[in-house]
Structure formats: structure tokens, C-alpha cells
A and B are shown apart, each in its own frame.
Chain A
Amino acid sequence: MGDPREPCDLPAHEIAARLASGEGSAGQVVESSLARIEAVDGRVRSFLAVTAEQARQRAAEVDRRRVAGETLSAVAGIPLALKDVLATRGIPTTCGSQILRGYVPPYDCTAWARLQAAGSVLVGKTNCDEFAMGSSTENSSFHPTHNPWDLDAVPGGSSGGSAAAVASGQAVWALGTDTGGSVRQPAALCGVVGMKPTYGLVSRYGLIAFASSLDHVGTFTRTVRDAATLLSAIGGHDPRDATSLPGPPPDLAATLEEGVRGLRIGVLEEGFGEGVEPGVRDRIGEAVDRLAALGAEIGEATLPHAGYTLSAYYLIAPAEASSNLARYDGVRYGHRADDPRDVVDMMTRTRGEGFGDEVKRRIMIGTYALSAGYYDAYYGQAQKVRTLIIRDYEEAFGSFDLLLSPTSPTTAFRLGERTDDPMAMYLSDVFTIPANLAGVPAISVPCGVDERGLPVGLQLTGKVLDEATVLRAAHAFEQDLGWTTRPPLLEAAAG
């Protein structure tokens, strides 16, 4: 039996090379992706909407340009999925919530607008926890998503649909959003590369806000090289986002091959503490050895205030969310309660009917944290912790170029296992949240599987705007590991 891989299973850079050399067409690639969706998404349930017709048209357009001899961009013709919190003009965008069921944005988010202009082919909008609040995608008000490595397990969250889609070949790459780990944790649990850049590197325009100061657009790819390519395509200053950093899109692929020799990597001691599964601990330990063997200088590092990050995060994020989600009131768009008595009744019932439990829980926590008399004790205090964590990073980066930890303390857990235990769910993000509070770039790269055959993710965190070093180390590790294991779902389909 030859290579069981379809075009949609290839990394983007290989597809781009094939298109450039005339070996196959964008049409074939998109058909392979759509066929995969047809074959597996009944079980994985990554998508809330599949945009097959638009995808075919866009692929045909790419092929026309290719045949006419135009040089294609690195993203042209590559099947892409977008998390359903990214606004897409003319395509329903729901945030996994009933309150936005049927909502069709009148504009495109900047990340997609840039990809679209470069010939990217959107195959669909992916499932997520409602308003990105969750770590398992079980808070989607539409349906859960299943992990391609074990259909009884969660894909992680909140961008679980995007992670599962890339892991199962339904899309070659995808965008998600990462507010507390919502790209890196599902990437780890689904065995793909997940990258969250520096806050402000990628415009948040059209990213439907959960917690504005923590929200990032991030990437799901099969390889680190693809992460560099995709990030370069969506990054750079955007005049529509006042928090967007100045400067043109970075060229992150340029330094990818420089290796890790001489890089100082600090291993976070917190990453081996209580609650970290042995399978995770073992793979991370091996990863440290591998990096050392590749010439990195390994040392021990710590973020002394890491113990307070969950508490700070679960005040700041809900506080911002309580305000960001106030606009869903039934007046202008989205769900509106039937036959309201008056405007207060309309807003109250619209929100009561439209939001799920986890969203309501966070709105209430956030409203409380911002209330007169409580602001200083909660929101104010949490902001101080945030400052301390930023200082922790500055301190650590005085000695190290990168910090290393597991992405998640566990591999994929069972569907339903943590739905009644918010604290257990929140602990999934204990290693990913600090990078959101500090706005520093971090990647999750696969580092093997645990004893149950479920993927483990290695997290590397870098200095502000030092994506290049993060990607370069992750790439060196990935190349050396040479991990090519595929989810059993695909092996079964191929076999």
C-alpha cells in the first residue's frame, strides 16, 4: 500500500509546492478536503457550517490564476477552517451560541480578509465553546466535537472544532482564538501545532470578543513551518485595531532552520507539579532531553506568581466578558425573545434564552467583580497579579530565551467527565493562561502520545515579539522527533 495520505492530509507548504509545480490543482485539494469532511465529520463534528460552494469557487479562481502563470501566495488554494467566533461577511457566525443563531456579519475579520485576498480557500466555520468560554468544546450550544484520536474524548477547547478539523484532514490549517489557552490546549489534545502570537501581532478586528485584553487569534497547523507561514500571512499592523502593534507582517519562516544550539531554555518547575499526568510528564521529560541533545542549554525556571494566575484570569476574563457580551440584547441582531412586554423584558428574556450556563456564570462573576465596592478587591487586585506575572516573565527572560512546560496537564479527557466540575475544567488551562496575561508568544507542538495513545503537547513560550525564536526551536524539535503518527480514525478510513 502506498502513501495513504490524500492532498488534504499534507502540510500546507507541501501543497503549495505541488500547486507551484503544476502537480495537482487547488480544485483537487479542496475536493479532497470536502470529501474528508463528508467522510468523517458525521463522527468528529468539527463544523457548524461547511462552505463547500464558496470553497469550490475560490479554488477554481486560484486555479485560473495559477494556469495564467501568476505566482501564488503561500496560502493560495489551501483549505482553511475558521473558528466560529471570527466574523465572516455573508457567512453565519454564531460563537457556538443560540443568541447568535442565524447571525450573518456584514463584514470580515481582518485575519480572514487578509487570507482571502491572498487566495485562501475557506471550507467552513468550526465549533467551539460558547463565546470561547470553555476547555472542551462541550459548551457549544449546538453539539460537542469529538477528538479524532478517540471519539469518546474531548478535542479540548475552546477552539476544539478547528483543532479536530486539522487533526482529521478536514482542513489543512485553521484559525482559532486563544484567551486562556483555547488554541494551544486543543492543539495539544488533538496532536497538531497550535500557536498564539504576541498580543497585538494579529489584529483582533472581527474576533468576537470574550475578554478583549486576553483574546488572541492563533493558528492550527500540521507543521511548525505552516504556523510560521500562516502567522506571517495574518500578522502585522491593522488600523482598525487600536491595540494592534505597529509594523509590517513579520517574515517568520526566514529563521526557521537556525536550530536550537546555544538557545537557553528554562524548564518551568510548575510543569512537573501536582495534577500533571505521568504520560505527559514523561513525554515532556524526553522533549527536554531531545532539546538538550540538539544543543540547547537547559536550566530550571519558575514563574513565582503562577499559582495566582487562575484566580486573576477568572476575574479579569469574566469582568471584560460581562461588558463585551452586553450587546447581545435582541435589539439589533441575533436572537430576540418572542412577544416582549417591554424593552426590559425583551432584553432580559433574550439573554436568558440565548446564553448557556457557563456564559451566564461568567457574566455574573464579571458583573460582581466590577461592582461598586468590589472593584478594588477583585478586578483591581487581579490586575495587580497580572502585573506581577508580567514581571515574572521579564525576570525569567533575563536568564532564558524560551520557557518550556507541558501545554496541558492532561491528555484528552472523556466527554462529560468535567462538565459538572468547573474547577477541574478550569485547571486544563493552568499552563496556558500565564502567556495570555502577559501577552507573550507561545506554541504547542506535538511530542508523542501517552500510554493510551493520546497526543501530548509541548509548550514553548518566548519573549514579546520573539515569535521567530519560538518557531525556530519548535521546528528543530519537530524535525528531530519526526512524529508522523495519525489519528486511528484516519488509519481506519485508509485501511
Chain B
Amino acid sequence: MASNDAHETVIGLECHVELSTATKMFCGCPNEFGAPPNTHVCEVCLGHPGSLPVPNRKAVEYAIRIGLALGCEIAPRSLFHRKNYFYPDMPKNYQISQYDLPLCVGGHLDVEVDGRTRRIGITRVHLEEDTGKTVHPGTTGRIAEAEYALEDYNRAGVPLVEIVSEPDVRSAEEARAYLTELRATLLALGVSDVRMEEGSLRCDANVSVRSRGAAELGTKVEIKNMNSIRSVERALLFEEERQRRALAEGTPLVQETRHWDEDAGRTLPLRSKEYAFDYRYFPEPDIPPLEPDPAWIEEIRASLPELPAERRARFAEAFDLPPAQVRVLAGSTEWADFFEEAVRLGADPRAAANWMTQDLAGLLNQHRVELSGSKVTPAHLADLVRLVGEGTISSAGGKAALEEAFAKGASVEQIVEERGLRQVSDVAALGAIVDEVLAENPGPAEQFRSGKEGVIGFLVGQVMRRSGGAANPKLAQDLLRERLLTGG
């Protein structure tokens, strides 16, 4: 979307993040994705009469971690409220959430777009509980068309934080950058596995378009049902375009909630009736105000890990790497720790970065595994970089060794020995091979002598083949030239 036109797009993002606490928000049930339906439930998360919610201290801690990482103020006193509406996946027919007194307020997240840093304001971060899941067997998913519905309450009561941004995002690309950075930050904090496809990160967006520089926002549209960062970007691009066209055509826009249809690649209005709720918020009488001890907050602050933005700055400074590599390596704790450990074990940073971002990333991608799920270790990487650097193995041999390590996990030294990847750099041994090659290829040798320099490549190739790939190609060429030019 052109940005030099008369209109600008204003986007605010609301993200729901499932916290990876051991237990649920208000009861002791395991907080675990993928268990058989209704096996992680108790009287509390099923809303049985008389049961009471007790806030999970770990979830409060995680929410404070997020708030501190985003530069928020931690409210000395915040409240849980009840958000009342009837829905069968909500056991109590109210959701315990936070309303006018959230736990964390007023932070920001810096994101990079086109090499420029943009600061996106964070309005608030608050705690709430997740709902169960409704399944409508054999239908398109709309309750009205189903014969019956099934409820799975394993997810009911899982701790959620809602992270609400200011309407500071100006493009779909910025939204993607924001979500990517938020995701990396949450991963670094260790508070969530942030898997959009499993629903542990969910995102809604408010979008409007207004005259550039206007103080008032345009007609706001809320978009729901975006299941990946990519689909957020696509939905926003579509919606931005739709609203701009409407403005250009003079068609009035209505304030509404629209649903992103991933397959059709467009947003569609939800029947407004479905969302015409009066939630009748009131303070949750079963839970006293949250008043976290300031000493505890400072303890949490002191325990914050290095955040992705800080790490990027440090990597760029300490290792002299190009920005693209810094983004990949510093983008997650997993990659950053792996890289730094390899460097600590003696690997040259630039070489290690190349191996990781090219060959290793390619292997992971090809086999669809995470770095943590592969057999490759920082020690493998350090050995690889050292052996290639010393000339003990060729870079082709290095690739082969990496693949082998990836598949089997054996040490690089062992792989090099077993597969005979060590470069033959012994002049006598290699000289013998060179002599054989020249004897068997009198034609090309003659061509070289008569000035066709290019044929040397063919001869080096022959030496490599005969040596089973173990020859040091540089040395092979030197020996070939020496013999051919001295006429030997």
C-alpha cells in the first residue's frame, strides 16, 4: 500500500497469549495442550456450584514479567472483574478477566520495519481465563446448523494474558513486525510457547483509515479469526484496501466486527447480533484485589532475561554480523544461546553465523524440526568451523559432516574419520595421485601446456574423484600446475 497518499491506516492489536504455567489460572488442573477431551477438569474449571477461583501466583508472575519486559507500570492494586455472557464453552457463563484496573499499564514495544525502528505503545496487559472449546460435528462450524455440539473444557481456565497495543501500527507490515517481535519477546521470557496454530497466541485487530494527519480515528472495524502472523498480515492488507476503496468511492463504512476467511482471503461481516453483548462487568467478589509486593516485582525484574532487541544490539556490536543474520540469530533464545555457545567453544563468529543461517537452517527446514529437536549441538558447530578453517576438511566435507551429525548426532571428529573426509594435504600422497591423473589424461595436459588454462578445473576434478573427495583441492591444483609447467 502506498504510504504517500492522502490517507493513513491506523491499526491496534489485541493479542491473547496462553501462559505456559503448570496449572490453570484458578484451579490445580494441568495446563496442557492436546489431552483427551475433558480429562484436565475439576469442579472449579467446570463451574460446579460452590467452587471458587484462587488465582495462580505463577500466572500473576508471568503477567508481571510480560509487563516489565514491555516497559509497563505494574499496578500496585488491580482487580479481577466478571464479564457476563452466556456461551456453552464458558462453564460459569462469565469470564473472570480484568477490566478498568488491569495489572500492567502503559508500555511499549520497539519494532524494526525497513531498517527503521518504530515504537508501538502498549495500552495494557491483563490476566484472564480461557474458555473451553465447542465442537460441532459434521457442520460448517456454525452453532445454528448443528444437530448437537460437544464441549471440551480442558482449555477452560487456562491462564491468558491480553496484550493491547495503542493504535500506533500504520501498516500490515508493521503489524507483522510487531507480532514477530512480541512473539520473540514472549519466547525469551519463557512465559508461553506462543504457537499460533495451537491457539496459544491469538490476535484480533482494530483497523481504520483516516485522512493523513487527522486527529480523529476513522470508522473502526474489528477483525477476528486470524490464525497466523501471515494471516494477520493478509487480513490487514485486505481490510486496508477495502476501507480505502470505500472511502475513495464515498461508500459509508460501518463500525463492525469482521471475520477473516483464510481460504477466501477476505474479511466478512459477522452478524452484529452475535456480538451485541452488554457484559455487565462488575468486580469479582470471589477474588480480593491483586496487590503484588513491590519486593516481589523487583525480584521478577531482576530475573528478566535479555530481550530480543537488547540481544540484537549486542550481537551486532560484539560479532560484527550483517543485520539479516543478527535478526535470525538473536531472534530467539534458542538460536542465540546455540550460537553463543559455539563461539564460546572457539568458533569464529562469522563462520559460525554462516553455517547456522545457511546450512543448518536449511537442514532444519528440510526436516521440519526445531533447533532444540535436532541432534546438532554447539560443539558440533564449533568443531566444524575449526576443521574447515584449519583446512582439515573441505567446505564440501563440512557440509557432509553436518548432515551426518544432524542425522546421527555423532561427533564431527568421528564422522570425519569414519567417512574419510580429512583432506589429503600430504604432498607425497597427493603427488602420486596427480601423477596418475596426468598419465591417464595426456590430452588435457597438452591443452593446458598450449595455453588452455581452463582445463585445470577438469584435472583437479579428476584428482578429487580419485581421492574420494579427500584431496585438498588447493594443494591438488598447485601440484598439477607445478608438474605441468615444469614439464615433468
Residues of A within 8 A of B (CB): 85-87, 93, 95, 100, 103, 105-107, 109, 204-209, 211-213, 239-243, 319-320, 322-323, 326-329, 331-333, 342-343, 347, 367, 370-372, 375, 379
Contact = CB atoms under 8 A, between A and B. Distances in A.
Given A212-B286, A323-B82, A323-B84, A241 B52 contact: yes
6 contacts: A95-B49, A105-B48, A241-B52, A322-B84, A323-B84, A332-B47
Given A93-B49, A106-B48, A323-B280, A212 B285 contact: yes
A347 to B, nearest CB: 6
Contacts of A107: 42-43, 48, 51
A204 B52 contact: yes
B88 A240 contact: no
A103 B311 CA distance: 57
Contacts of A342: 143-144
B488 to A, nearest CB: 90
B379 to A, nearest CB: 46
B95 to A, nearest CB: 11
Given A326-B84, A371-B280, A333 B48 contact: yes
Contacts of A212: 285-286
Nearest to B47: A327
B274 to A, nearest CB: 11
Q: Most A CB atoms within 10 A — which of B50, B82, B93?
A: B50
Interface size bracket, B side = 20 to 34
B281 to A, nearest CB: 8
Nearest to B284: A212
Contacts of A331: 88, 151
Interface string B274-312: 000010111001111000000000000000000000000
A205 to B, nearest CB: 5
Nearest to B134: A343
Nearest to B144: A342
A242 B288 contact: yes
B86 A379 contact: no
B143 A327 contact: no
Contact of A208 (B49, B93, B144, B149): B49
Contacts of B93: 326-327, 329
Contacts of B54: 239-242
B53 interface: yes
Nearest to B87: A343
Interface in B59-93: 82, 84, 86, 88, 91-93
Nearest to A342: B144
Contacts of A204: 52
Nearest to B280: A370
A387 to B, nearest CB: 13
B86 A347 contact: yes
Contacts, number: 105
A8 to B, nearest CB: 28
Given A326-B86, A343-B149, A371-B280, A205 B51 contact: yes
A239 B282 CA distance: 24
A242 B53 CA distance: 7
A212 B285 CA distance: 6
Contacts of B461: none
A-B pairs, top 5 by smallest CB distance, nearest first, are A326-B93, A370-B280, A212-B285, A213-B285, A208-B49
B436 to A, nearest CB: 83
A205 B49 contact: no
Contacts of A105: 43, 48-50
A322 B88 CA distance: 17
A166 B228 CA distance: 63
A90 B285 CA distance: 28
Contacts of A103: 49
Given A343-B143, A375-B280, 17 more contacts: A87-B50, A100-B49, A105-B43, A107-B51, A205-B52, A206-B51, A207-B50, A211-B285, A212-B285, A240-B52, A242-B288, A320-B285, A327-B92, A329-B86, A329-B88, A342-B143, A343-B88
B46 interface: yes
Contact of A370 (B51, B143, B282, B286): B282
Given A243-B286, A243-B288, A323 B94 contact: yes
B106 interface: no
Contact of A367 (B48, B88, B280): B280
Which of B49, B51, B92, B144 has the most CB atoms of chain A within a 10 A radius of its CB? Answer: B49
